[in-house]
Amino acid sequence: MAYYFQAKQLCVGYQNQPLIQNIEIELKKGEILTLIGPNGAGKSTILKSIARQLELLGGSVLLEDKNLQSLSGRELAKKMAVVFTKRPHTELMTCEDVVATGRYPYTGRFGVLSAKDHEAVQEAMEAVHVLEFRDRDFAKISDGQRQRILLARAICQQPEILLLDEPTSYLDIKYKLEFLSVLQELQKKKGLTVILSLHELELAARVSDRILCVDGAFVEQVGTPEEVFRPGHLSKLFQITQGSFEEESQEMELAAVKGTPEIFVIAGNGSGRNTFRRLQREGIPFAAGLLWENDLDYPAAKALSSRLFSAPAFEPVSEELLEQAMRCMDGCRKVICCRESFGTLEDAQKRLLAYAKARGLSERDAQKYV
Ligand SMILES: Nc1ncnc2c1ncn2[C@@H]1O[C@H](COP(=O)(O)OP(=O)(O)OP(=O)(O)O)[C@@H](O)[C@H]1O
């Protein structure tokens, strides 16, 4: 297997004191790797070490089997662009000037931009929609605007690999999505390889080909999002003790209000989540049901209700469970029904299955057709 990027037996840290050892990373060209982990776990330290801003305490970083240490600064800058959170020192520079500094590996000694360089600057600014700031003083723009300008600078550097430290932390939801779309586009069109750190786990789950979990002293796991977002794993990695995080939906909830339910919430299909959260904010213990365990309301109900009546997905709800829910309801002072209608989907699905069976189709293995 030919890897584009490899970190072998990497040891990183400060003042000759190892922080994290035995880091192993293997990425194919065009893959996106996300570093996640608690505050102070070592994500930035790993990124800075890969970017040669921190001296390696051990091991090596290879780009297409070539040791990164053997490259000159200019050679490295043609291959690797870096976007770190620190505000660069820029006196009286416009945003466009800052983006244009991304061209320095390509310009001559005096940094004069050619027509091709100007084109690259323009294209990069267009890609992240920052042309409107081109003449603004870089020192006087917002944190989110700065993050986008620095991304434009990295893009116009036309690197093969991009390193980003918490690139989305100041972006609003529109620009977070736009940022990830730009990354995906560069990945698909130009084969750009990306290593970034993120605090937004829901973004990590969506954009990453691989995720590296850092735990302060070691790399706890490197895996696909499916492997990393397994039930209970990240709650443990981040040592969540107040409230909860549901790995599969990437939803987080504050702690449930404990106590005998005062209100019974009939919910389902996502109709109840906001009511559960309102009751939690008001400090009212509540029961929720009846829900299948794959219902959209289930993660929030499980995290926030003091009593939950649920059944395994698509299994018939037993009379016994219904009876228990009714007894619980007897003790409540109020019932809130969040559902406006009760679905007919299950009946329709049953009919669909019966139809399939009548045609002799239902026994076939769906896996064969994907
Ligand atoms: N210049 C430095 N000298 C010595 N120790 C440092 C230095 N910078 C960071 N550290 C320490 O190294 C550890 C890892 O820090 P790092 O910034 O890599 O964590 P991080 O995972 O990026 O954290 P965060 O999510 O809070 O940004 C921390 O304990 C931090 O205090």
**Which pLDDT tens digit goes with each residue over 128-156?**
889 999 999 998 898 888 889 999 999 99
Q: Which of 15, 43, 49, 168 to mutate to test the pocket of ligand 1 (most atoms within 8 A of CB)?
A: 43
**200 assigned to some structural domain:** yes
Instruction: Show the domain range for 287.
Output: 261-345
Question: DSSP secondary-structure letter at 102?
Answer: G
Residue 32, pLDDT score: 96
Residue 60, pLDDT score: 96
**Which pLDDT tens digit goes with each residue over 214-269?**
998 899 999 999 999 999 999 999 999 999 999 988 989 999 999 999 999 999 98
Residue 164 CA, ligand 1 centroid: distance in Å: 16
Using the predicted structure, report yes or no on whether residue 361 has a pLDDT greater than 50: yes
Based on the fold, state whether residues 152 and 46 are members of the same structural domain: yes
**360 assigned to some structural domain:** no
Residue 46 CA, ligand 1 centroid: distance in Å: 10
**313 assigned to some structural domain:** yes
Residue 45, pLDDT score: 96
Residue 43 CA, ligand 1 centroid: distance in Å: 8
- Can you give the length of the chain in residues? 370
Residue 356, pLDDT score: 67
DSSP line for 36-102: E-STTSSHHHHHHHHTTSS--SEEEEEETTEEGGGS-HHHHHHHEEEE-SSPP--SS-BHHHHHHGG
Based on the fold, state whether residues 163 and 277 are members of the same structural domain: no
Based on the fold, state whether residues 272 and 209 are members of the same structural domain: no
pLDDT tier for residue 173 given thresholds of 50, 70 and 90:
very high
Residue 350, pLDDT score: 72
Using the predicted structure, report yes or no on whether residue 165 has a pLDDT greater than 80: yes
**252 assigned to some structural domain:** no
Q: Which of 221, 237, 253 is the last residue of a domain?
A: 237
Based on the fold, state whether residues 53 and 182 are members of the same structural domain: yes
Q: Which of 16, 19, 165 to mutate to test the pocket of ligand 1 (most atoms within 8 A of CB)?
A: 19
Helix runs in the chain, H state only? 43-50, 73-79, 95-100, 115-127, 143-156, 173-190, 201-207, 225-228, 233-237, 273-282, 298-304, 319-330, 345-358
Using the predicted structure, report yes or no on whether residue 354 has a pLDDT greater than 80: no
Residue 112 CA, ligand 1 centroid: distance in Å: 37
pTM of the model: 0.85
Based on the fold, state whether residues 135 and 278 are members of the same structural domain: no
Based on the fold, state whether residues 94 and 205 are members of the same structural domain: yes
Q: State which ligand 1 atom lies nearest to the alpha carbon of 197.
A: 22
Q: State which ligand 1 atom lies nearest to the alpha carbon of 13.
A: 12
Using the predicted structure, report yes or no on whether residue 368 has a pLDDT greater than 60: no
Atom 31 in ligand 1: which residue has the minimum CA distance? 40
**249 assigned to some structural domain:** no
Residue 346, pLDDT score: 67
Return the CATH number at 313: 3.40.50
**121 assigned to some structural domain:** yes
ipTM, two decimals, is 0.98
Q: State which ligand 1 atom lies nearest to the alpha carbon of 214.
A: 21
Domain count for the chain, please give it.
2
Based on the fold, state whether residues 77 and 191 are members of the same structural domain: yes
13 lines ligand 1 (CB under 6 A): no
Based on the fold, state whether residues 229 and 274 are members of the same structural domain: no
**367 assigned to some structural domain:** no
**69 assigned to some structural domain:** yes
Based on the fold, state whether residues 197 and 330 are members of the same structural domain: no
Return the CATH number at 38: 3.40.50.300
Atom 11 in ligand 1: which residue has the minimum CA distance? 40
Residue 39 CA, ligand 1 centroid: distance in Å: 8
